[in-house]
């Protein structure tokens, strides 16, 4: 494996059973993400974007093929080891924020760092910095329900990068927002990714967003295909 490759998917198969029939969503999908690279995943609804991100993020087991994160082949690993790699190396942003409702924005961003073993003051300091960077620091003490949709998503992005992951995976991170808010939130996400040299794969239906990435890929018949940008 080349030294600067952070994520590889090799020959990924993923099927879902539906009654008598089997839906084959990914059929030998290959993908490589290099250090510091940003890639847009643009494909029609139902073609398997979320499935691909879930497999890449070790949230779902593929039915065949291999996922390698930071040089570690994950297919044969047990759940505990996969969870450890996911927590350390992968940041995930969903279309809906999935913040913990009973905790403040600050606490939500501290949480993954505390789980990773940082002290409370260290986690709070980094959480504050990230919230400030995402221009939502003035809402640090608010609970998710007290934040606007754009603010919630900016907190969710701060949380996803709190442990300085190797790879950021985002599944339509602005899909739930109005166009103006989406553009603002995406600019903040892009600035954070570029500034910290993160590698990112972002599923989006928004072609303006896709064009701002280094590469653009799509899914055709269960395989990842490169698009010209
Ligand atoms: N757990 C599951 N059980 C059965 N079928 C599933 C399951 N998860 C996904 N699918 C099916 O697999 C296909 C791909 O789903 P996926 O969510 O990956 O698509 P997507 O490209 O992300 O779509 P969208 O853009 O609408 O979010 C869909 O047809 C979906 O119905």
Spans of all domains in the chain: 3-224
Return d(Cα 51, Cα 87) in angstroms, integer: 19
| Ligand 1 pocket residue status of 206, Cβ below 6 Å | no
Give residue 51 CA to ligand 1 midpoint distance, Å.
6
Q: What is the pLDDT of residue 2?
A: 53
Q: Which two tokens stand for residue 11?
A: 């020959």
| Ligand 1 pocket residue status of 47, Cβ below 6 Å | yes
| Ligand 1 pocket residue status of 222, Cβ below 6 Å | no
The ligand 1 atom at the shortest distance from the C-alpha of residue 17 is: 4
Is ipTM beyond 0.90? yes
Return d(Cα 210, Cα 204) in angstroms, integer: 7
Residue-wise pLDDT tens digits, 130-165: 999 999 999 999 999 999 999 999 999 999 999 999
| Ligand 1 pocket residue status of 51, Cβ below 6 Å | yes
The ligand 1 atom at the shortest distance from the C-alpha of residue 47 is: 21
The CATH topology of domain 3-224 is Rossmann fold (3.40.50)
Name the residue with tokens 């602005």: 174
Q: Which two tokens stand for residue 81?
A: 């080891």
H/E run at residue 145: none
Residue 209 pLDDT grade (very low, low, confident, very high; cuts 50, 70, 90): confident
pTM: 0.93
| Ligand 1 pocket residue status of 21, Cβ below 6 Å | no
Residue 3 pLDDT grade (very low, low, confident, very high; cuts 50, 70, 90): low
Residue 228 pLDDT grade (very low, low, confident, very high; cuts 50, 70, 90): confident
The ligand 1 atom at the shortest distance from the C-alpha of residue 53 is: 18
Share of the chain above pLDDT 90, in %: 80
């Amino acid at each position: 494996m080349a030294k600067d490759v952070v994520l590889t998917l090799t020959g990924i198969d993923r099927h879902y059973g539906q009654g008598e029939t089997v839906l084959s969503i990914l059929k030998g999908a290959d993908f490589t993400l290099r250090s510091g690279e940003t890639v847009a995943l643009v494909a029609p609804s139902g073609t398997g974007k979320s499935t691909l991100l879930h497999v890449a993020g070790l949230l779902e087991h593929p039915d065949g093929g291999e996922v390698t994160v930071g040089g570690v082949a994950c297919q044969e690993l047990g759940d505990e080891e996969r969870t450890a790699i996911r927590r350390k190396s992968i940041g995930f942003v969903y279309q809906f924020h999935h913040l913990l409702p009973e905790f403040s924005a600050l606490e939500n961003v501290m949480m993954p760092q505390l789980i990773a073993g940082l002290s409370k003051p260290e986690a709070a300091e980094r959480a504050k910095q990230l919230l400030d960077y995402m221009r939502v620091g003035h809402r640090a003490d608010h609970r998710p329900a007290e934040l606007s949709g754009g603010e919630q998503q900016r907190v969710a992005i701060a949380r996803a990068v709190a442990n300085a992951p190797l790879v950021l995976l985002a599944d339509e991170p602005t899909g739930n927002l109005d166009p103006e808010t989406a553009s603002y939130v995406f600019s903040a996400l892009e600035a954070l990714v570029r500034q910290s040299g993160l590698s990112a794969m972002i599923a989006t239906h928004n072609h303006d967003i896709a064009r701002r990435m280094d590469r653009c890929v799509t899914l055709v018949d269960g395989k990842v295909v490169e698009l010209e940008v």
